[in-house]
Amino acid sequence: MRTSFKQDITDQDDFKRKLLLWSQQFREVTFMDSNNYQQEYSNYDWILAVDAFTSIKTDYFNAFEDLKQYQQFSKDWLFGYLSYDLKNDTEELQSNNFDGLGFPDLFFYQPKKLFLAKGSQLEIRYLHFCDDELEDDWKEILSMGSDFETKSSKVNIQQRISAKSYLEKASKMLDYIHRGDLYEANFCMEFYAENAQIEPMEVYLKLNEISKPPFAVFFKNHKQYLLSASPERYLKKEGDTIISQPIKGTAKRFSDPEEDEKSKNELANNAKERAENIMITDLVRNDLSQTAQKGSVQVTELCGIYSFLQVHQMISTITSKLDPQHTAVDALRFTFPMGSMTGAPKISVMKIIEELEETKRGLYSGAVGYFTPEGDFDFNVVIRSILYNQQNHYLSFSVGSAITSLSVPENEYQECLLKAKAMFEVLK
């Protein structure tokens, strides 16, 4: 059980910064920020959860069943992530590529201390046994300076797949498509740095500032960090309603308003980008139907165009009603990994991805989110993100694009570089 307190916050940005700095003393931290992006399905503007009371950490084997039991037993707020390699739990698949990060496949925890913000109203929920710490915590938070000592980053970024190799691999993917083995595949490549030394909070704040996405996350599990500027929702459950919002289709932003509007319109009318989006929308409809009440799967928006600071994106929204015989974790298991990060048909694509990519995806193209005590949840897609293992000083970020029969490998490579731009910028 939790004790709940309410406070009014006038200067949101200053308070968020203080709270983030205060949170760094804890071993487990999850900060999720919508950056005031007016999302139709958002419950909170931002959330902070710190300090695990209980937790679950596992590899992919039986992972969804373990998570289901943990979630149903705790009936509390839980925060954590699903890595891409949980695909090996649901299908006869393997992940044998190089992994420099070494994160667990699944990690969730029950936080002792929780902060939930909507507008100027802040709700604080502490587990009963530590609610006597709130007054001292509150004083400490308010006394935090909103600045902190910056450290110079030492990062020498390398590319796992060279430009030449990328073009060869993308062409091979096209061969698979022309043979009829698949229709679309999200092909990704890693940028990485060994012996990297960064201040994770500083890098996260910079990345968030230049992107301001609706699904930003700062996640810390001891020495393992995710610094995410994700624009994409994977899956949300509210009551018996399930919402998926896959992104497929990307275009540049321009400082000149006319040029920017032209880029946006070209994306909206681009046959290749629309085909990509519609294929994944169909895949998501099929995934949702496995746990849905009959006839409840609906496409509520097809190929909508949304503008973010770095790029324009094409987003569709698909909803369903969860059949009472299925649990919250079932809804995740039957749709994971998200179609926007695999392609279609899903299992064939995941096998070919494993063959052509050179890095184990891990948390990249997985999901970070939370469960509520009522069994609702909200998860993002881990893209536009930096992963960092502070213990072995390994830093990684990956980018990808969808290969279809209409793809030109050189254009796909340029799209990858466009998506990597923000990460390069903050690691200079």
Q: Active-site residues: which are they?
A: 232, 248
Torsion of CA 419, 421, 426, 428, to 10 degrees: 140
Q: How would you class 10 by CB atoms within 10 Å of its CB: exposed for 0-12, middle for 13-18, buried for 19 or more?
A: exposed
Q: Give the span between the Cα atoms of 165 and 168, in whole angstroms.
A: 5
Q: Using CA atoms, how far apart are residues 23 and 33, in angstroms rounded to an integer?
A: 15
